[in-house]
Amino acid sequence: VRDLVRHFPIRAGVLRRTVGVLKAVDGVSLDLRKGETLGIVGESGCGKSTLARLLTAHDRPTSGEVTVLGRSMHELRGGELRRARRHVQLIFQDPYTSLDPRMTVADTVREPYDVNPDLAPRGDRGRMVRELLDAVGLNPDHGDRYPHQLSGGQRQRVGIARALALRPEVLVCDEPVSALDVSVQAQIVNLLERLRETFSLAYVFIAHDLSVVRHLADRVAVMYLGKVVEIGTEAEVYESAAHPYTEALLSAAPVPDPALRGTRQEIVLEGEPPSPVDPPAGCSFHPRCRKAVAGCSASAPGLDPVGGGGHLVACHLADRS
């Protein structure tokens, strides 16, 4: 992902005149390696879902590009685009709205084969659908049911099976468990972990829950107002966070180990994130940053290395030594 930008014009009045620009994704560069899980965290409205739609070619960027296996997705059209899109599948937050209520589970999982007939000979599709249902922990009886006859967790399993039918390299999971009961969340996370091995998948795992991301991710990117403000390995981000926003997110996350509760000072983040329509000048985090200095509102910090490896942070005060 190189310099990815998605701006939405905001129109108002009867003349629908453009009155502003919503900078949903504002210059994001990332790499995803084969078999890797990249977590993306940030508050709602930071551009995570827009990024997910751009990564899966459900939306086109204003500028910048997404390259998959050496091919730029946004230069492809028609059949070429459809074939390239198979590699990167989107798992939605709410599996209910993404499933057709009039289609049975088996038909839903089979549909990708009807759209992409070269994926499997007609005679093999029934067996392949049963194997996919089995892989996501559904039994053959579920194949005859409709979405309203399933629990939320079962619906999410159907959405995953349908995505796997296309034999993707990458699943982009946009808050895949946040609409589910807490008791079901761990089951789906464990399922995704198992499928990563079985199907040799790489994941982009988007969440606002930092503990889920920590469990799954090899690397983590933290987003704020359309930009990545910190990226590094799971250990670099969780144990040596270098951006004041990451520090605040981590300090606000629930501590799973009761012995550690109360040992940590919570950093209170003042207010809601500012609007991405008219983000603050300079470092866009400065109105909420407890470390801000005079220069922070004057110029935007670059996403530059701290330490020796791939740990990058966008903060003027980061120790670059």
How far apart CA 61 and CA 118 sit, in angstroms, is: 29
Binding-site partner at residue 49 among ligand SF4, Mg ion, none, CB < 5 to 8 Å by type: Mg ion
Binding-site partner at residue 283 among ligand SF4, Mg ion, none, CB < 5 to 8 Å by type: ligand SF4
> What tokens appear for 243 in the block?
């951006």
Taking CB under 5 A as the criterion, the residue among 49, 89, 156, 246 binding Mg ion is: 49
Q: Is 289 an interacting residue with respect to ligand SF4 (CB under 6 A)?
A: yes
Which stretch, 2-10, 167-175, 285-293, 303-311, contacts ligand SF4 (CB under 6 A)?
Answer: 285-293
Tell me the DSSP string of 253-317: SPPSSGGGTTSSPPPPPPSSPPPTTSPPSSSTTGGG-TT--GGGGTSPPP-EE-SSSS-EE--TT
| CB of 38 vs ligand SF4, minimal distance in Å | 22
Q: What 8-state DSSP symbol labels residue 61?
A: -
Which stretch, 48-56, 69-77, 90-98, 283-291, contacts ligand SF4 (CB under 6 A)?
Answer: 283-291
- Binding mask 232-271 toward ligand SF4 (x if CB under 6 A, else -) reads -----------xx---------------------------
**Closer Cβ to Mg ion, 40 or 84, answer by number:** 40
Residues 6+ apart with CB under 8 A from 65: 1, 2, 3, 4, 72, 73, 74, 75
Dihedral angle computed from the Cα positions of residues 236, 238, 239 and 244, in that order, rounded to the nearest 10 degrees? 90
| CB of 266 vs Mg ion, minimal distance in Å | 24
Task: List beta partners, residue 90.
Answer: 172
Burial 33-60 (b: 16+ CB within 10 A, else e): eeebbbbbbbeebbbbbbbbbbbbbebe
Q: Is 172 an interacting residue with respect to ligand SF4 (CB under 6 A)?
A: no
| CB of 253 vs ligand SF4, minimal distance in Å | 19
Q: Which residues form the interface with Mg ion (CB under 5 A)?
A: 49
Q: Which residues form the interface with ligand SF4 (CB under 6 A)?
A: 243-244, 283, 285-286, 289, 291-292, 296, 301, 315-317
